Amino acid sequence: MTKPFDMALFLSGVLTGSKVTQQRHLRQARIMQAAIQQRWQRDNPWTWRLKHVSWFLTQRLRDKSDATQYYYRLTALLVWKRLGNNRELPVCRADRNNRE
């Protein structure tokens, strides 16, 4: 049996800020990981595509407060950055334009 994916190790290179902030990002990344695993059976963030992250941010968080959505977008940006995708997440850009 394989070991579960270690999200803390995966994000260790991009996590900055206070210990509490780092713990929040790890907790939220694990929640994202579990939701994407349940929906698409993709436990490893290296196999995630834009549609997986976009689905989580738009569908899974649609009933959450604006503040919660904001903090999850920050975590998604960290994951996206760690994956080596330097361009901005389109979901985040579209949300920002809709709020103006």
Q: Is the dihedral of CA 15, 17, 22, 24 positive or negative?
A: negative
Please give the pLDDT value at position 94. Answer: 46
Report the largest interatomic distance among the alpha carbons of the chain, rounded to a whole angstrom.
Answer: 49
Please give the pLDDT value at position 3. Answer: 78
Domain membership flag for residue 3: no
User: 75 lies in which domain range?
Assistant: 17-99
**Regions of the chain short of the pLDDT cut 70:** 1, 86-87, 90-100
The residue among 14, 83, 77 whose CA lies nearest residue 42 is 83
Domain membership flag for residue 5: no
Domain membership flag for residue 54: yes
Look up the pTM and report it. Answer: 0.84
Domain count across the chain: 1
Alpha-carbon distance of 84 to 53, in angstroms, equals 14
Domain membership flag for residue 92: yes
Q: In 3-state terms, what secondary structure has residue 43? A: coil
